[in-house]
Homo-oligomer: A and B are copies of this chain.
Amino acid sequence: MTISGKLLIAGEWQEGDAGSFQAVNPATGQPIATQHTKASEQQVSVAAELAGEAFAGYRNTSLKARATFLHACADHIMQLGDELLDCMQQETGYPRGRCEGERARTVGQLRMQADYIVSGDYLDPRIDSALPQRQPIPRPDLRYLNQAIGVVAVFAVSNFPLAYSSAGGDTASALAAGCPVIVKGHPSHPGTGELVVQALQRAARECDMPTGVISYIQGDDNIAGAALINAPQVKAIGFTGSIKGGTSIAKMAAVRPEPIPVFAEMGSINPVVLLPHALAESATDIAAGFVGALTLGTGQFCVNPGLIVALKSPHLDTFVEAVSAQLNGAGAGVMLNQRICQNYQQGVEQFTQYSGVAVAANGEPVAQTEGFYAQTALFRTQASYFLANPQLHEEVFGPASLLVECETVAQIQQVLLSLPGQLTGTVHGAKDELEEHSALLDLLSVKVGRMVINGFPTGVEVCPAMVHGGPFPASTDSRFTAVGTAAIHRWIRPVCYQNFPQTLLPEALKDANPLGLLRTVNGIKTLDPIV
């Protein structure tokens, strides 16, 4: 196994026709040797065509066959061993522990989706029996089943080279649903992306899945990506990244001859409200939790806490002092690439140019002379100033956060109301004040995808109850989540079978219930066969 710099198109690893690029080691700023070739529009078309052909076979594979395939994907990723971890470390600057943790999450996601589809829950099978005697007109036999939407394009993301990229949550849920996937790799970690796709291809061969069930294209410009968005065989898109990137893809998809759905998980500043009793009780502990969440992965998480909202009080000052003390000696962290690092520095500089914004705490300044590093920063402003300057509501991707000091709880509400949609919203409060100010939670519930009490939003658990998404611009479609078992709903659509003979029905809808699924039969949930 080696990194070839090639693309997986039509089942074959081939060189891209549109030139090549090199990844950069962000810890040193130096290019990494491998030349990664770029897909031409023609090559993207060919990949899409074969993926479209693969759909015919792949969507009709059994739940068990797909589950076996997903487990094999996980196995082959693990078998990449140190080569994968070494490459990921070199391309991202992440510490080994993070790479191992993200790998564990990635294979965990694949295995979770595998186990989940076998339950048949996502198929939502429904049967309404014929009522031939009904007046004034008879009811036909009607049966409902979710099925795969078609080829899915997945855009890999900079900050999760495993968990949101080649075999990340989008790919895992799309493959689970029966959709072939074309991955557009991220130019920051092309080698990591390629190795994982090699693993997926080995799993596909081992499990006799159709050629074209997985494809990999690359490019460090928007040409291959645009061709992918416009390929007629592509029926849905998964994206994680910036608001600019996500909305641009969503707009392109909306004006295709056949518009297609886009699920883009985008920016968020993830407000954290600190209520007074909580601060009085544990300002220092909250500060420790906050600094941990702020600096994790050099702040390169979409659920990074970018906004603290609190009442003015001596306890709030204690919180700020504790943050300052904790950041004292906290070295600059490495960022993923030059563009992210520059954007972060610009964002931080912009904060300092507002007369009403002050620096409240800082990590150590950047000491490195090479590579892409960032200094942690907490800024401080007043609610009235924040409300008057909407540019302060925008995300600065990285280890920076803004503390907004409020005079009253009503002002906290105003601040929250002024924000656009968010991935998460957090409240720290003692039991009594949480109940007293439950209106804050009610307000957050229409703004965010996930609400957190007395914790921090970092750490997106992969489980059935997770919601990773939220009202725009947190995502392009708040009706779906990018993480958890429900993520599969992005790639499925219902089909109704009217008056089908038993032999022609999908297994999940046959009277005998051969798959043993929980089904809605004449409005009632049941495991029973129809006799």
Chain A residues within 8 Å of chain B by Cβ, number: 87
A108 CB to closest chain B CB (Å) equals 12
Q: Which one of B137, B147, B445, B464 lies within 8 Å of A144 (CB-CB)?
A: B464
A95 to chain B, nearest CB (A): 14
Chain B residue numbers with a CB within 8 Å of A101 are 136
- Beta-carbon contact of B259 and A472 below 8 Å: yes
Given contacts A60-B442, A434-B504, A442-B60, contact A496 B451 (CB under 8 A): yes
Chain A residues with a Cβ under 8 A of chain B: 55-56, 59-60, 101, 116, 121, 124, 126-128, 136-137, 139-140, 142-144, 147, 149-150, 235, 247, 250-251, 254-255, 258-261, 420-421, 431, 434-435, 438, 441-442, 445-446, 448-455, 459, 461, 463-467, 469, 471-473, 476-481, 484-486, 489-490, 492-501, 503-504, 518, 520, 523, 525
Query: Per a CB cutoff under 8 Å, which of B247, B472, B486, B495 touches A450?
Result: B495
Contact B465 A143 (CB under 8 A): yes
The 8 closest A-B pairs by CB, nearest first: A467-B496, A144-B465, A450-B496, A142-B465, A254-B254, A126-B465, A478-B493, A452-B498
Contact, CB under 8 Å: B489 / A479: yes
How many copies of this chain does the complex contain?
2
Q: How far is A280 from B151 in the complex, measured between Cα atoms in Å? A: 39
Across-interface contacts of A477 in B (CB, < 8 A): 261
CB distance from A528 to the nearest CB of B (A): 15
Please report the C-alpha to C-alpha distance between residue A492 and residue B431 in the assembled complex, in whole angstroms.
Answer: 29
Q: Taking CB as reference atom, which chain B residue is nearest A55?
A: B446
Q: Contact between B142 and A494 (Cβ–Cβ < 8 Å)?
A: no
Given contact pairs A126-B465, A464-B523, a sample of 14 additional A-B residue pairs in the complex whose CB atoms are under 8 Å apart: A142-B463, A144-B464, A144-B466, A250-B259, A251-B255, A258-B420, A258-B421, A260-B472, A449-B496, A465-B520, A467-B494, A469-B494, A478-B493, A479-B494
Asked whether, in the complex, the Cβ of B261 is within 8 Å of the Cβ of A504, the reply is no
11 A-B pairs, CB-CB below 8 angstroms?
A: A55-B446, A140-B459, A142-B461, A142-B463, A441-B504, A453-B500, A453-B501, A453-B504, A469-B493, A478-B493, A479-B490
Question: Which residues of B are found within 8 Å of A137, using beta-carbon distances?
Answer: 459
* B259, A247: Cβ atoms closer than 8 Å: yes
